[in-house]
C-alpha cells in the first residue's frame, strides 16, 4: 500500500498531464512489479539457505529421563546483590520477587553481609537465605570462584547464577523444566536484555504482573510490550548461567579469583566449561525472557557494597577489570582458545516445541516425546508445516550469527596492577570501631603463608587486616586476591626467596621495616596488631588484647622453658604484639626504631634492650617490664594462650589443633625453626592450612560449602 502511494505521488509530480486513472493504473502496475521482484529475490535467497536436517538419537543426551524422575526439579538461584537501598534496592527487590513467584520449588541464596540484605530476606522466610560465608575482597566485592563453589555444592537439582536486577518470566521455568529431562549433564547460558520502559509491578503474592493502573496484564501481552522496547545485551556481565547438579564437575582446572561483576569472569567461565567437554553447553537466550530495567542516567558501576562507597570516586577506575584480565591470561584457555558464544548449540522453540539447533552443521534435534516419530526422522519433507518450521529456525540462525561475543584483545599487553589507595586512605576505611588494624608484612617467597593467614582472618570475620608488600609480585598478588595492600617505598629490595629466615641479613632488613611501619601508623592515630604471617590464629585475640589499657605494649614471649620467667632477656617476640596510638607508646617505638637502625642484629633484640633494658634491668615480676623514660609498661602474654613455636612441644603433637584447643590457644607461632621450606612443611604435615590450593595455586575459596568437611577437619 505504501509503495502504491509513493508511486502515484511520483508520477503525479513528474507527469502532471496524465489523468488520474492512468496514474492509478501505473500505480497498480508498480505494485505488481514490486511484488514480483520480491518473490524472485526471495526465491533466489532461499537457494542459499541451509538445508535443515533433523536427527533423533535414542541413546544420546537428548533421550528423555525415566518417567519416574519427571518430578519438577528443585531450583536455587544464587545472586550477589548490592545493599537494598534506593532505586537499586527497589529493582533488586522486584527481581527477587519475580523469581520466587514462578514456582514454590524455587529458593534464593543472596551473597552478602550488609544488614539491608538480611532485612530484605527475612520477609520471605526460609525461601531466601543470606550467605555471608564466602570470600569477599576488602571492598566487599564477592569472589566469583567462591560463589561458584557454593552454587556447585548446592543440594538442589538445578543451580542458577543470576544478576540481582534480572527479572524472570514464566518461560524460564518451562525451559529449565524441559532441559532437566535431558539424560546428560548440561550447562546453559542466557543473555540478558535491557528495557528502558517497564511500567509494571507484581501483585502482593508475586505471581501476577500489573499495569500502572493496577489492572492485571497477561504474560503474552507483557512479552509483546517488552519485545518492542528491550535491547539485547548479548555476552554482557548480566548473563544468566544454570546447570544441573549431578556427578560431573563444571570444568577441569582451577577457577581464578575473579572479582565478581568486574569483567571477563563470565566469559572465562563459560569458555572453560565448553572446552572441558564434561557437559553439553548451549545457549537458551531465545527461550528465556530475562531482562533488567535500566534508566538512562544509571551509572554502570559493577556490584559493590557500602564499604566501597567510602572510597569516593577513587573506586571508579579499571584496576579491578585489569586484575580480572590478567587472571584470564594466566589461567585457562580464554587467551589462547577463545570460543565465540554464537557457535554454541541454541535451544529454540518453534510451533510450541523445544529443539536444539547447531549453527555450523545446520542440524536440528528434538526429543522424541514432543511429537510423532515420523516428524523427527531423516531429512524434513517440504510439507507446509515443515516449511513453517524451517522458516522459524532460519530466523533464529540468522540472528544468532550476528551476535558474536569475544573478549577484547588486550591480553598481549597487560597493564600493571595498582590500587588507587595509599596507606593514609586505607587506614580510615579498614580500621575497626576502636581505630585498630591488623598489619602483616610479607614478600613473595611467603605468599603461600600470607594467603593462609588472610584466609584464616577472613574466616574469623576479621576485616581490619592490612598488608605491606615488600615487592611488586606480592603487591600484584595481593590485589588479585582482594587483599588491602600498600607498598613501602623504603622497603628493602632483592629479597631472597628461600634465604630470608631468622638470623640472615635479609631477615634483619625485613624486620626493621616492620617496626618503622608500625610507628608510621601509630603517628597517623591508629592502633596496630602486628602479626607475622606464620602466626596461626585459632581464635580472634583482638577483644582480649584491647582489654589492656593505654601505655601498655603487649607482646608474645619467645621463652620456651616452662620453669623460668617469660620476661627473661631478649625473650620479647616482635612477630606478634599490640600497641596503642598514645604518646608513651609512640615515644617508646621511636626509641626502638632508632636503636634498630644502628644495630647489626634484627629488630627483635632492639625491642627488648630498649624497653626492658640491657640484661633485663627494667623487668617487673615474671611477665612485665617498665620503660622509665616513656612510662611504658611491657606485658608478656600468657604462653598457654599465645604459645611460641617451641613451647611444650606443641608442634610435635600428633594433633596440633587438638592440643591447642585443649589449652585454649588464641594463636600459635610457627617459629623456632629455620627456613621458609621447613616452616611450610611443618604447616602442611600438621594440616594447619586454611586455604585449599591444589599445586600451590592460591585461588581456592578460603572456605566454602564444598570444602566444609575438610575445613572442619583442619580447624
Q: For the chain, what is the mean pLDDT? A: 80
Distance (Å, rounded) from C-alpha 537 to C-alpha 529? 13
Q: Would you say the CATH fold of 423-714 matches that of 72-310? A: yes
Confidence of residue 697 (pLDDT cuts 50, 70, 90): very low
CA distance 548 to 558: 20
Closest listed residue to residue 706, CA positions, set 136, 189, 83, 146? 146
How is the chain split into domains, by residue range?
Answer: 2-46, 72-310, 423-714
Q: Which long-range contacts (CB under 8 A, 24 or more apart) does 405-411 make?
A: 405/234, 405/235, 405/267, 405/340, 405/341, 405/342, 406/338, 406/340, 407/264, 407/267, 407/268, 407/328, 407/334, 407/338, 410/325, 411/325, 411/328, 411/329, 411/335
| Distance from chain centroid for Cα 108 | 17
What SS3 class is residue 605?
helix
**What is the Cα–Cα distance from 502 to 298, expressed in whole angstroms?**
55
Segment 550-591, tens digit of pLDDT: 999 999 999 999 999 999 999 999 999 999 999 999 999 999
Higher pLDDT, 51 or 657: 657
pLDDT of residue 55: 44
Q: Cα(686)–Cα(104) distance, rounded to whole angstroms?
A: 46
Instruction: Give the per-residue pLDDT at 688.
Output: 84
Q: Whole-angstrom Cα distance, residue 638 to residue 544? A: 12
DSSP secondary structure, 402-462, as one string: H------S-TTSPPPP--S--HHHHHHHH--TTSEEEEEEE-GGGHHHHHHHHHHHHHTT-
pLDDT value of position 569? 96
How confident is the model at residue 453, as a pLDDT? Answer: 94
- Residue-wise pLDDT for 5-24, tens only, equals 333 333 333 333 434 344 44
**What does CATH list as the number for 72-310?**
3.90.550
CA distance 672 to 674: 7
pLDDT digits (tens, 9 = 90+) for 59-74: 344 545 554 456 789 9
Collapsing DSSP states into helix, strand and coil, what is residue 602? coil
Q: Assign domain 423-714 to a CATH class.
A: alpha beta
User: pLDDT digit string (tens) for 408-419?
Assistant: 544 545 678 889
Residues 6+ apart with CB under 8 A from 317: 420
Q: Confirm if 356 and 350 have CB atoms less than 8 A apart.
A: no
Give me the pLDDT at residue 1, please. Answer: 40
Greatest CA separation for the chain: 126
Which is it for the CA torsion 17, 18, 23, 29, positive or negative?
negative
State if pTM tops 0.75: yes
Q: Which segments of 496-564 does DSSP mark as H helices, in order?
A: 505-523, 542-545
Distance CA 76, CA 94 (A): 17
Q: What is the pLDDT of residue 335?
A: 77
- Non-local (6+) Cβ contacts of 509 within 8 A are 492, 495
Nearest to 572 by CA among 639, 487, 650: 639
pLDDT at 5: 34
Distance (Å, whole) CA 146 – CA 260:
10
Instruction: Tell whether the model's pLDDT for residue 443 goes beyond 60.
Output: yes
Express each pLDDT in 34-60 by its tens digit. Answer: 555 544 544 444 444 444 444 434 434
Confidence tier at 27 by pLDDT (50, 70, 90)? very low
The number of CA neighbours under 13 Å toward the Cβ of 273 is 24
Instruction: Give the pLDDT confidence of 314-355 residue by residue, as tens digits.
Output: 444 588 988 999 899 888 888 777 777 778 888 988 878 888
- Of 20-29, 42-51, 87-96, 291-300, the range with the highest mean pLDDT is 87-96
Contact 362, 397 (CB under 8 A): yes
More confident residue, 288 or 509: 288
pLDDT tens for residues 241-269?
A: 999 998 889 999 889 999 999 988 999 99
Secondary structure class of 465 (helix, strand, coil): strand
Amino acid at each position: 500500500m505504501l509503495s502504491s502511494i509513493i508511486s502515484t505521488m511520483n508520477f503525479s509530480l513528474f507527469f502532471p498531464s496524465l489523468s488520474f486513472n492512468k496514474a492509478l493504473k501505473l500505480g497498480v502496475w508498480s505494485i505488481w512489479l514490486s511484488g514480483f521482484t520480491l518473490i524472485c529475490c526471495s526465491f533466489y535467497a532461499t537457494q542459499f539457505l541451509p538445508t535443515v536436517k533433523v536427527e533423533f538419537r535414542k541413546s544420546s543426551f537428548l533421550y528423555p529421563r525415566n518417567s519416574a524422575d519427571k518430578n519438577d526439579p528443585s531450583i536455587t538461584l544464587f545472586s550477589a546483590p548490592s545493599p537494598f537501598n534506593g532505586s537499586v534496592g527497589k529493582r533488586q527487590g522486584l527481581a527477587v520477587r519475580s523469581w520466587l513467584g514462578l514456582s514454590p520449588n524455587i529458593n534464593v541464596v543472596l551473597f552478602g553481609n550488609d544488614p539491608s540484605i538480611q532485612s530484605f530476606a527475612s520477609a520471605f522466610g526460609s525461601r531466601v537465605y543470606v550467605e555471608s560465608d564466602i570470600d569477599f575482597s576488602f571492598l566487599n566485592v564477592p569472589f566469583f570462584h567462591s560463589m561458584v563453589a557454593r552454587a556447585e555444592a548446592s543440594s538442589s537439582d538445578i543451580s542458577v547464577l543470576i544478576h540481582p536486577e534480572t527479572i524472570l518470566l514464566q518461560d524460564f521455568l518451562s525451559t529449565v523444566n524441559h532441559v532437566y529431562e535431558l539424560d546428560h549433564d548440561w550447562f546453559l547460558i542466557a543473555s540478558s536484555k535491557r528495557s528502558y520502559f517497564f511500567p509494571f509491578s507484581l501483585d502482593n503474592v508475586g505471581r501476577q504482573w500489573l499495569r500502572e493502573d493496577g489492572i492485571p496484564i497477561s504474560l503474552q501481552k507483557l512479552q509483546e510490550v517488552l519485545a518492542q522496547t528491550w535491547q539485547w545485551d548479548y555476552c554482557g556481565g548480566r548473563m544468566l548461567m544454570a546447570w544441573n547438579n549431578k556427578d560431573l564437575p563444571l570444568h577441569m582446572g582451577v577457577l581464578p579469583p575473579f572479582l565478581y561483576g568486574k569483567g571477563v569472569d563470565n566469559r572465562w567461565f563459560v569458555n572453560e566449561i565448553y572446552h572441558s567437554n564434561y557437559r553439553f553447553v548451549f545457549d537458551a537466550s531465545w527461550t528465556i525472557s530475562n531482562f533488567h530495567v535500566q534508566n538512562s542516567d544509571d551509572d554502570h558501576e559493577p556490584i559493590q557494597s557500602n564499604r566501597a562507597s567510602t572510597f569516593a570516586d577513587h573506586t571508579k577506575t579499571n584496576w579491578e577489570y585489569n586484575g580480572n584480565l590478567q587472571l584470564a591470561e594466566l589461567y585457562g584457555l580464554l587467551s589462547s582458545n577463545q570460543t565465540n558464544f554464537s557457535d554454541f548449540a541454541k535451544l529454540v522453540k518453534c510451533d510450541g516445541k523445544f529443539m536444539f539447533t547447531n549453527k555450523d552443521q545446520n542440524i536440528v534435534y528434538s526429543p522424541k516425546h514432543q511429537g510423532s516419530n515420523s516428524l523427527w526422522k531423516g531429512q524434513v519433507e517440504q510439507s507446509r508445516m515443515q516449511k513453517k518450521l524451517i522458516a522459524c529456525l532460519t530466523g533464529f540462525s540468522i540472528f544468532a550469527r550476528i551476535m558474536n561475543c569475544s573478549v577484547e584483545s588486550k591480553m598481549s599487553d597487560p597493564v600493571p596492577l595498582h590500587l588507587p589507595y595509599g596507606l593514609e586512605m586505607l587506614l580510615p576505611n579498614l580500621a575497626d570501631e576502636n581505630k585498630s588494624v591488623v598489619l602483616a608484612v610479607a614478600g613473595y617467597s611467603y605468599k603461600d603463608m600470607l594467603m593462609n593467614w588472610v584466609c584464616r582472618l577472613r574466616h574469623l570475620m576479621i576485616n581490619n587486616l592490612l598488608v605491606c608488600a615488600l615487592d611488586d609480585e606480592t603487591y600484584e598478588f595481593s590485589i588479585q586476591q582482594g587483599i588491602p595492600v600498600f607498598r613501602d617505598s623504603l622497603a628493602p629490595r632483592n629479597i631472597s626467596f628461600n634465604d630470608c629466615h631468622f638470623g640472615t641479613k635479609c631477615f634483619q632488613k625485613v624486620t626493621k621495616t616492620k617496626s618503622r611501619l608500625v610507628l608510621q601508623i601509630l603517628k597517623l592515630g591508629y592502633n596496630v596488631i602486628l602479626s607475622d604471617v606464620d602466626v596461626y590464629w585459632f581464635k580472634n585475640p583482638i577483644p582480649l588484647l584491647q582489654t589492656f589499657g593505654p601505655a601498655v605494649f603487649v607482646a608474645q614471649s619467645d621463652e620456651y622453658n616452662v620453669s623460668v620467667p617469660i620476661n627473661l632477656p631478649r625473650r620479647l617476640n616482635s612477630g606478634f604484639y599490640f600497641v596503642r596510638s598514645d604518646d608513651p607508646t609512640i615515644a617508646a617505638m621511636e626509641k626502638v626504631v632508632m636503636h634498630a637502625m644502628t644495630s647489626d642484629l634484627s629488630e627483635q633484640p632492639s625491642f627488648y634492650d630498649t624497653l626492658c633494658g640491657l640484661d633485663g634491668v627494667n623487668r617487673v615480676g615474671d611477665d612485665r617490664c617498665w620503660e622509665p623514660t616513656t612510662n611504658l609498661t611491657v606485658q608478656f602474654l600468657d604462653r598457654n594462650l599465645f604459645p611460641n613455636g617451641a613451647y611444650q612441644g606443641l608442634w610435635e603433637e600428633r594433633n596440633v589443633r587438638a592440643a591447642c584447643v585443649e589449652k585454649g590457644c588464641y594463636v600459635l607461632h610457627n617459629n623456632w625453626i629455620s627456613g621458609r621450606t621447613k616452616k611450610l612443611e611443618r604447616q602442611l604435615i600438621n594440616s594447619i592450612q586454611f586455604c585449599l590450593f591444589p599445586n600451590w595455586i592460591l585461588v581456592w575459596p578460603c572456605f566454602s560449602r564444598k570444602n566444609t568437611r575438610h575445613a572442619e577437619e583442619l580447624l
